[in-house]
């Protein structure tokens, strides 16, 4: 049979059509993370004006209609005719990929946007966009929608103001949910204000009726105070350093008594959640400085066999901000990781500066070194305990937990593990699964709260041992991603208070001890239906499975009371195998939520508050939020 594949099958997408066709390539995804990335792009443009000395005020409005308005008092977008596009420059920027003034250092010496893609992507993925430019004593306006021009450039008359205003609302045809989270927007605005001394950012939250103003004269030194305000620190003041040569680098760090660590890194004010060359240089430089200082302190070195980077960073809270001119290179449009070749330079600068600090601040140096030595001793004690367990079990064959119903496939790209609550749900799940690629592990009740437990208690817990053996990677410092046995891991618990609690405990365990599985997209929350609704239509019975109260109410609008019978599922064991398969386990028909980390700081704070060792924080949280609870499942 002759091939029908011809030139007619090749599509040439013009303008911003590629963005609407494949939005994930430009903003990561179309979930909440991608939605808020639109705001980030608009804010970054305004901040770039501030970084280059043209703007000192930014005003953000979160509209009650889910629109965003970002106004700055910068130079305003040019509106003259562009020599290449033959359109006005504002329209060219808003409707063309790879257009902008940041490809060279002529207009922007420092910038977080280097691809000329950001704001045009926001336009492409917005239901509407209005742009105002105030420059040379005149205000101009032009409207757009879904990447296309909707009006010509209009002269609105004279003005004494200058700057740019961008108003947009995300397109519901693209995003699953177009509701912005004011807390995320305020946190981003606050971080930008910390990083740019002299800049004032105001957030007018019309959803909640609040106005917040962020202005920090001490910059990232105010940032570190904010980060450690509820933690116990080991020195009187943080280490702060500012370097400005061919590379601008500013950093501040403080050690705390907790075992958690937090490093917030930025490149040209863009938050690099995935790290990169500047983070690597910072970590290596810090570790080298500590090692070289300790080599001069023989009494300290005798306490431990060796110091690792993890020992140095235990309990550390740090902010790193670099500004690179010209050769800034991010990995992908979402700019989560810095690829610019500055690691050696950052490492040298940080190493020299921190070693000099230790040498000239003896009291602080002794406190820091003692903190690091304690971390190293704890690590060594943990290693010896693990070795002891291994020796005791060396003669026994490593087996999987007895309750695990494993699958026959060993292909990572297709295998799935369902973690279920109790033997009843385990029995139904084992009957409902596809034995070829789906495994089921029933857990007994609520697992240990690892946020509060000691390392020894965690190690001895049978349910955690079972999880660790099933998944195969090991936990904590001995996590080995290459040994992962299942490509997808589903937490499948009952839709009641106990089920939600177990899900939370499991998420805590994965976040604290197998975090890479979350970061690489392997962890999911199964979404079993809440109700089975039987309806009678023309003397025929039909079954409907609904997953929310809203869906239930919508369905019931079409039937009288006599025509329906409603069953509320509170436990997976209440479903028969066929129901469980169709609604929760079959890849073709099930629903599931992929677990992601949108903001590491907020996630860490949530675990500490809700599951940590301080009941007072939990009590305060309940008091503050009890009024917002709309439904309690008793």
Task: Tell me the Cα Rg of the chain.
Answer: 28
- Using the CB atoms, write b or e for 226-257: b if 16+ within 10 Å: ebbeebebebeebbbbebeeebebbbbbbbbe
Q: Which two tokens stand for residue 603?
A: 């996630």
Q: Are residues 209 and 238 in the same domain?
A: no
Single out the residue in 197, 214, 231 at which a domain terminates: 214
Q: Are residues 56 and 162 in the same domain?
A: yes
**Catalytic residue (one of 44, 72, 314, 421):** 421
Q: Which two tokens stand for residue 349?
A: 């600068």
Q: What is the dihedral of CA 281, 285, 287, 291, to 10 degrees?
A: 150
Q: Which two tokens stand for residue 39?
A: 């705001």
- Looking at residue 394, its pLDDT comes to 38
pLDDT of 247-292, one tens digit each? 899 999 999 998 888 999 998 888 888 888 899 999 999 999 999 9
Domain assignment present for residue 186? The answer is yes
Q: Are residues 94 and 231 in the same domain?
A: no
Taking 3-state DSSP, the helix, strand and coil percentages for the chain, each rounded to the nearest 5, stand at 40, 20, 40
Q: Are residues 67 and 201 in the same domain?
A: yes
Q: Are residues 497 and 355 in the same domain?
A: no
Q: To 10 degrees, what angle do helices 182-195 and 32-51 make?
A: 30
Domain assignment present for residue 557? The answer is no
Q: Are residues 364 and 489 in the same domain?
A: no
CATH number of the domain where residue 109 is located: 3.30.565.10
- Looking at residue 600, its pLDDT comes to 73
The continuous run of DSSP H or E covering 158 comes out as strand 154-158
Residue 456 annotated among the catalytic residues of the structure: no
Q: Are residues 37 and 138 in the same domain?
A: yes
Measured distance CA(181)–CA(203) in Å, rounded: 13
Neighbour count for residue 186 (Cβ, 10 Å): 18
- Looking at residue 272, its pLDDT comes to 86
Q: Which two tokens stand for residue 557?
A: 């609008």
Single out the residue in 164, 182, 214 at which a domain terminates: 214
Domain assignment present for residue 396? The answer is no
Domain assignment present for residue 610? The answer is no
Look up the domain containing 99 and give its range.
17-214
Q: Are residues 180 and 267 in the same domain?
A: no
Neighbour count for residue 427 (Cβ, 10 Å): 17
409: left (phi over 0), alpha (psi -120 to 50) or beta: beta
- In the block, tokens 């990995």 appear at 331
**Catalytic residue (one of 44, 494, 579, 608):** 494
**Catalytic residue (one of 352, 498, 519, 551):** 498
Q: Helix, strand, or coil here: 58?
A: strand
Domain assignment present for residue 278? The answer is yes
Measured distance CA(571)–CA(547) in Å, rounded: 14
Q: Are residues 468 and 475 in contact, defined by beta-carbon separation less than 8 angstroms?
A: yes
CA distances from 343 to 182, 275, 281, 332, 346 (A): 35, 11, 4, 19, 5
pLDDT of 450-480, one tens digit each? 888 777 787 778 888 888 889 988 887 778 8
Spatial CA neighbour of 106 closest among 267, 326, 269: 326
CATH number of the domain where residue 368 is located: 3.30.230.10
Domain assignment present for residue 117? The answer is yes
Spatial CA neighbour of 511 closest among 499, 493, 500, 523: 523
- Looking at residue 476, its pLDDT comes to 79
Q: Are residues 334 and 371 in the same domain?
A: yes
Q: Which two tokens stand for residue 537?
A: 């239509």
Q: Which residue positions in the chain have pLDDT lower than 70?
A: 1-15, 98-117, 298-304, 326-328, 331-335, 383-402, 623-634
- Looking at residue 572, its pLDDT comes to 74
Spatial neighbors of 275 by CB under 8 A, at least 6 apart, are 265, 337, 338
Domain assignment present for residue 165? The answer is yes
Q: Are residues 29 and 86 in the same domain?
A: yes
Residue 477 annotated among the catalytic residues of the structure: no
- Strand pairing report for 416-421 and 438-443: parallel
- Looking at residue 6, its pLDDT comes to 38
Q: Are residues 206 and 230 in the same domain?
A: no
Residue 347 annotated among the catalytic residues of the structure: no
- Strand pairing report for 270-271 and 239-244: unpaired
- Looking at residue 399, its pLDDT comes to 53
Question: What are residue 154's phi and psi, to 5 degrees?
Answer: -115, 140
Spatial CA neighbour of 286 closest among 258, 324, 260, 314: 314
Domain assignment present for residue 249? The answer is yes
Residue 498 annotated among the catalytic residues of the structure: yes
* Tally of domains within the chain: 3
Q: What is the dihedral of CA 273, 275, 278, 282, to 10 degrees?
A: 100
**Catalytic residue (one of 212, 496, 574, 605):** 496
Q: Are residues 188 and 269 in the same domain?
A: no
């Amino acid at each position: 049979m002759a091939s029908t594949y011809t030139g007619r099958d090749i599509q040439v997408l013009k303008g911003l059509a590629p963005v609407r066709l494949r939005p994930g390539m430009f903003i990561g995804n179309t979930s909440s993370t991608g939605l808020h990335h639109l705001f980030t792009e608009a804010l970054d443009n305004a901040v770039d004006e501030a970084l280059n000395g043209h703007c000192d005020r930014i005003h953000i409005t979160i509209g009650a209609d889910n629109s965003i308005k970002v106004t700055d008092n910068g130079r305003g977008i040019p509106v003259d005719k562009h020599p290449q596009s033959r359109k006005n420059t504002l329209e060219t920027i808003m409707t063309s990929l790879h257009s902008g003034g940041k490809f060279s250092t002529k207009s922007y010496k420092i910038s977080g946007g280097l691809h000329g893609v950001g704001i045009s992507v926001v336009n492409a993925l917005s239901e509407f966009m209005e742009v105002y430019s105030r420059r040379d004593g005149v205000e101009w306006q032009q409207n757009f929608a879904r990447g296309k021009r909707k009006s010509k450039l209009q002269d609105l008359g004279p003005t004494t103001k200058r700057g740019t205003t961008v108003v947009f609302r995300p397109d519901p045809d693209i995003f699953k949910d177009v509701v912005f989270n004011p807390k995320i927007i305020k946190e981003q605005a606050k971080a930008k204000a910390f990083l740019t001394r002299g800049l004032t950012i105001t957030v007018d939250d019309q959803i909640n009726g609040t106005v917040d103003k962020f202005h920090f004269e001490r910059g990232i030194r105010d940032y570190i105070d904010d980060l450690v305000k509820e933690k116990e620190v080991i020195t009187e003041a943080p280490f702060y350093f500012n370097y400005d040569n061919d590379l601008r680098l500013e950093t501040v760090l403080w050690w705390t008594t907790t075992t958690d660590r937090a490093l917030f890194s930025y490149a040209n004010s863009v938050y690099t959640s995935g790290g990169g060359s500047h983070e690597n240089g910072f970590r290596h430089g810090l570790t080298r400085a500590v090692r070289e200082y300790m080599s001069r302190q023989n009494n300290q070195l005798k306490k431990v066999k060796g110091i690792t980077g993890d020992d140095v960073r235990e309990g550390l809270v740090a902010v790193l901000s670099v500004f690179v001119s010209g050769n800034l290179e991010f990995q992908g449009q979402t700019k989560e990781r810095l690829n610019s070749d500055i690691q050696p330079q950052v490492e040298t600068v940080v190493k020299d500066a921190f070693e000099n600090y230790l040498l000239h601040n003896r009291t602080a140096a002794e406190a820091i070194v003692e903190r690091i030595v304690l971390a190293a001793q704890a690590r060594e004690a943990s290693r010896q305990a693990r070795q002891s367990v291994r020796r005791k079990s060396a003669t026994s064959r490593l087996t999987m937990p007895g309750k695990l119903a494993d699958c026959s496939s060993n292909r990572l790209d297709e295998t799935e593990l369902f973690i279920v609550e109790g033997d009843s749900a385990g029995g139904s799940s084992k009957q409902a699964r596809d034995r070829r690629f789906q495994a089921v592990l029933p857990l007994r009740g609520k697992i240990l709260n690892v946020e509060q437990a000691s390392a020894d208690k965690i190690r001895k817990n049978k349910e955690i041992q079972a999880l660790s053996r099933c998944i195969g990677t090991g936990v904590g410092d001995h996590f080995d991603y290459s040994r992962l046995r299942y490509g997808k891991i589903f937490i499948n618990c009952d839709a009641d208070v106990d089920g939600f609690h177990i899900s939370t405990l499991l998420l805590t365990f994965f976040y604290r001890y197998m975090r890479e599985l979350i970061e690489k997209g392997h962890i999911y929350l199964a979404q079993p239906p809440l109700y089975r609704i039987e309806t009678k239509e023309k003397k025929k019975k039909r079954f409907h499975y609904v997953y929310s109260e809203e869906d239930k109410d919508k369905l019931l609008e079409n039937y009288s009371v006599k025509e329906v019978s409603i069953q509320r599922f509170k436990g997976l064991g209440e479903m028969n195998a066929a129901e469980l398969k169709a609604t929760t386990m079959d890849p073709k028909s099930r629903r599931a939520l992929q677990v992601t980390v949108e903001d590491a700081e907020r996630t860490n704070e949530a675990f500490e508050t809700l599951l940590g060792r301080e009941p007072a924080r939990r009590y305060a949280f309940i008091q503050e939020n009890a009024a917002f609870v709309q439904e309690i499942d008793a």
